[in-house]
Amino acid sequence: MLFGALEAGGTKMVLAIGNENGEILDQMSIPTETPDITVPRIIEYFKDKNIEAIGVGSFGPVDLDRNSKTYGYITSTPKLPWVNYDIVGSIKKELQVPVGFDTDVNASALGEATWGTMKGLDSGIYITVGTGVGVGVLANGKLLHGMLHPEAGHVLISKHPDDHFEGVCPYHPNCLEALATGPSIEKRWGKKAIELADRNEVWELEAYYLAQGIVNYILTLSPHKIVLGGGVMHQEQLFPLIRQQVLKLMNGYINTEQMKDIDNYIVPASLNDDQGIMGCIQLAKLELQRQA
């Protein structure tokens, strides 16, 4: 059985064909331009692939409420050509197959929960740290939705007393996304993250901020596993720094087996950066099952 998968990012769209085992059989990417340019290219890719369903993990915010008139829409995104765009409806109309839909980072969480390091757990979070910060949440065995969906990259954190950087978020000067993304690292230090690998002060500050967010997530969501991915997290020296800082901030308050074995609690993504597209395959499977 073949499924389509679309990881719709703000910079590029990753398109793939996979099977029920999560195996990726074909994959390509195209730039994210305007809908009238990008969506026809998406349709062209999938239309002759004999897929049973397609899963879409999209940049957002998006409307995930099936009872809403705008379910399946990208809503108030800063990518202006995509504001209030019916991405699910457009794809369904052209391909005539079920369309599973969620945020891109929830799709990554689902990929890790189905085939990766969160497999077998009923709760966990996937944090991506790259151009932005996004958090996908698995709670009680399901992806977490509510009024909208988690936007936990915008939790407010305390600035380091020696950090006078103004942040890169247009909404919050002291949210995690303002202070800990790839663009914030580049703007603060004058070089891209990959060029700063040997600068300990860069990663100590990054860990200081990421650990604050993670402590907030531990205290509010109580996840069984925390997985970090995205371009910034390719700097593997971050992981021990983050773990140490989390323990320092927690100050012994949470005393679970996971916290005692923190090296296996806060971990890197496990699916070779394919967790998002594999999660989209699973979204397609689940939607086919739901409609059946």
- Residues 199 and 182: beta-carbon distance below 8 Å: no
Give the global pTM. Answer: 0.96
- Strands 2-8 and 54-58, how do they pair? parallel
Query: Is 2-103+273-277 assigned to CATH 3.30.420.40?
Result: yes
* Ranges of CATH 3.30.420.40 domains, the chain: 2-103+273-277, 117-268
Which pLDDT belongs to residue 81?
96
Which pLDDT belongs to residue 78?
81
Which pLDDT belongs to residue 147?
92
- Helices 200-221 and 238-250 pack at an angle, to 10 degrees, of 50
User: CB 9: neighbour CB atoms within 10 A?
Assistant: 18
Gap between the terminal Cα atoms of the chain: 15
Which pLDDT belongs to residue 261?
98
Instruction: Please list the alpha-helical segments (H only) found in 55-101.
Output: 87-95
For the domain 117-268, what is the CATH superfamily, name and number?
ATPase, nucleotide binding domain (3.30.420.40)
One digit per residue, pLDDT tens: the chain, 292 residues? 999 999 999 889 999 999 999 999 999 999 999 999 999 999 999 999 999 999 999 999 999 999 999 999 999 988 899 999 999 999 999 999 999 999 999 999 999 999 999 999 999 999 999 999 999 999 999 999 999 999 999 999 999 999 999 999 999 999 999 999 999 999 999 999 999 999 999 999 999 999 999 999 999 999 999 999 999 999 999 999 999 999 999 999 999 999 999 999 999 999 999 999 999 999 999 999 999 8
- Residues 258 and 224: beta-carbon distance below 8 Å: yes
User: CB 29: neighbour CB atoms within 10 A?
Assistant: 14
- Cβ partners under 8 Å of residue 176, min gap 6: 133, 152, 153, 154, 155, 157, 209, 210, 212, 213
Which pLDDT belongs to residue 10?
87
